[in-house]
Amino acid sequence: MLEMRKLIIGGLMTAALMSGAQVAQAQNTINIGAIVPSSGPFAEWGRANTVTLKMLEKEVNDAGGVNGAKLNIVILDDAAKPAQAANNMRKLAGDDKVLAVAGPLTSSACEVTFPVANELKTVSTSQASSKPGVAKANRPWAFRNTIDEGILAKTSVPYFKKTFDAKSVAIIYDAKDAVSTSIATKIMPQVFADAGIKVINGDSPISFNTGDLDVSAQVTKLKSMSPDGIVIGADYSQAITVLREMKRQGLTKPVIGGTPLISSAILKAAPEIPVVAPATFYATMTTPKAKKFVADLQPLMRATAGLPKDIEPSMYDANIYETVSMYIDAVKKTGVTGKPDSLEADRTKIRDYMANLKGYEGFSGPIHFGEDGDAIKNFFIVQGQNGAWETKVTGCSAAGGSC
C-alpha cells in the first residue's frame, strides 16, 4: 500500500511539473494553436473567434476526437499588437508544441508573425489578413484563408459604379491599420481609375487614427468635395464612427470598402447609407451549412463571450472554423500522430496538406490555396442597407474566375 501511495504521489508531482502541452501529449491529445485579439481594438472579433474555436473543439471531441485523440485548442490573445502576436507564435510553437496555428487576425500582426512561423517551421493561417502579398512574402509556412483585397476590388468597384452611377469618390481611412491603409492609398485609387471614376483626393486621402472618437473635421472635408461616393478604408468598428458622423452631417452618399467592413454592427450605425463590401461569408447566408453554423454559434457568443445579442457570427469566425477544420482533416488523412518525437514531421505533413489541398468544402464552397498562400474560394459582393446584407455579385478568386 505504501509503495502504491508513493507511485500515485510521484505521478501527481510529475504531472504538476509537466507543461500543459506535455500533459496533453501524454494523454494522446492533438494540440492546435490560435492567436486572436480578444482584447484591444478588435476585441469583438477575437472574443467571437474564441467562442467559435471552443464550439469546434467540443463538436470534435463529442464526436470521438481526432483519430481517437482529444482535440485541444490553445488560444492566446495578441490584443492586435504585432509584437505580442509574434511572441504568441513563439510560445505556441515552442512551449505548447502545437501542430499548427490559426491566426493572427490582422495584416499588421501577420507581417511580423509569419516570418516567425517560417523560422519555427510551423504553419500559421490568418483568418482575416487581406493586405496584398503578406503570405506570398512568407512562404512556405504562411497561409491566409482570405482573399487579396486587390482581387476583390476588381469586382466590387464595377458593381458600385453601375449601381450608384458613381463618377467620383473621396477617400477616408485609418492610417494606423495596415490593410486599411493599403485599401485606401493603393488598391482603391488604382481600381477606381481603371474604372474611369475620378478619385477626388487620391493624392491626399483624408486620414484618422484607430480609436479616434471625433472625425467631424474629416467628414466636413469629405462633404465639401461633393463626391458621388465615399471609400472607407477601416475595420467596421472604426468605420462606424465615420458613418455616424456622415449621418449627422447629412452626407448620405453610398460607401464602399474592403472585407474589414463586414459586420452586422456596421449596418446599425447609419441604416439609410448603403454600404458595399466583399465577403466570403455573412450571417444571413441561406446555405444549410452556414445556417447551422450561425444557429449554433450565435447563442454561445451571447452566453459565453458577453457579446450583444444583435452581434452575428462574422466572416472571420467562419474562416477560423474552416482553418482549424482543415488542420483536423490533415491530421486524419496524413498520418499525423501528435507525439513529441514526431512533431517536426507532423508539422511538415500539415504544411504539405495545406499547400496541396484540393476542394475542401467550406461555407462558400470548395477551398484550396494558391502558390502565394492565399485561399482560392468563392466570394460575394454584398450591399448592406436597412439592417441586412444582401448578395449582389458572386465571384471566385481563381485566375480563371472558377472555383
Over residues 26-68, the pLDDT tens digits come to 458 999 999 999 998 888 899 999 999 999 999 999 999 999 9
Amino acid letter, residue 138: N
Sequence ranges of the chain with CATH classification 3.40.50.2300: 21-147+286-372, 149-279+381-396
Amino acid letter, residue 114: F
Q: Residue 64: what pLDDT?
A: 96
Is the previous residue joined to 104 through a cis bond, with omega within 30 degrees of 0? yes
Distant-in-sequence contacts of 19-24, Cβ < 8 A, 24+ apart: 19/95, 19/96, 20/74, 20/96, 21/74, 21/95, 21/96, 21/97, 21/98, 22/97, 22/340, 24/70, 24/72
- Distances in whole angstroms, Cα of residue 24 to Cα of each of 37, 46, 101, 261, 264: 25, 24, 16, 38, 38
Closest-CA residue to 104 (of 127, 84, 72, 83): 127
**Residues 49, 64: Cα–Cα separation, whole Å:** 23
19 against 318, higher pLDDT: 318
21-147+286-372: CATH class: alpha beta
Closest-CA residue to 353 (of 329, 375, 377, 370): 329
149-279+381-396: CATH class: alpha beta
DSSP result, 330-395:
HHHHHT----GGGHHHHHHHHHHHHHH---EEETTEEEEE-TTSBEE-EEEEEEEETTEEEEEEEE
| Arithmetic mean of pLDDT, 3-32 | 50
Q: Residue 13: what pLDDT?
A: 37
Amino acid letter, residue 221: K
Helix extents (H) in 63-177: 82-90, 107-120, 149-164
Query: Do the Cβ atoms of 98 and 363 come closer than 8 Å?
Result: no
CA torsion, points 206, 210, 212, 215, in degrees to nearest 10?
20
Stated pTM of the model:
0.87
User: Could you report the per-residue pLDDT of 263-280, keeping only the tens digit for each?
Assistant: 878 888 899 999 999 999
**Residues 143, 129: Cα–Cα separation, whole Å:** 10
User: Could you report the per-residue pLDDT of 224-249, keeping only the tens digit for each?
Assistant: 999 999 999 998 889 999 999 999 99
Q: Residue 215: what pLDDT?
A: 97
183 against 303, higher pLDDT: 183
Q: What share of the chain has pLDDT > 70, as a percent?
A: 93
DSSP bridge pairs for 101:
33, 124
Q: Residue 159: what pLDDT?
A: 97
Among the residue ranges 84-98, 129-143, 257-271, the one predicted with the least confidence is 257-271
Count Cα atoms within 13 angstroms, Cβ side, for 350: 32
Q: Residue 304: what pLDDT?
A: 80
> Under 8 Å CB-to-CB from 230, ≥6 apart: which residues?
169, 170, 171, 172, 222, 246, 251, 253, 254, 255, 256
In the three-class reduction of DSSP (H, G, I as helix; E, B as strand; rest coil), residue 266 is classed as helix
Q: Residue 5: what pLDDT?
A: 40
User: Could you report the per-residue pLDDT of 178-213, keeping only the tens digit for each?
Assistant: 889 999 999 999 999 999 999 999 999 999 998 899
| Arithmetic mean of pLDDT, 316-345 | 96
12 against 119, higher pLDDT: 119
Q: Residue 103: what pLDDT?
A: 97
* 136 CB neighbour count, 10 Å cutoff: 15
Q: What share of the chain has pLDDT > 90, as a percent?
A: 78
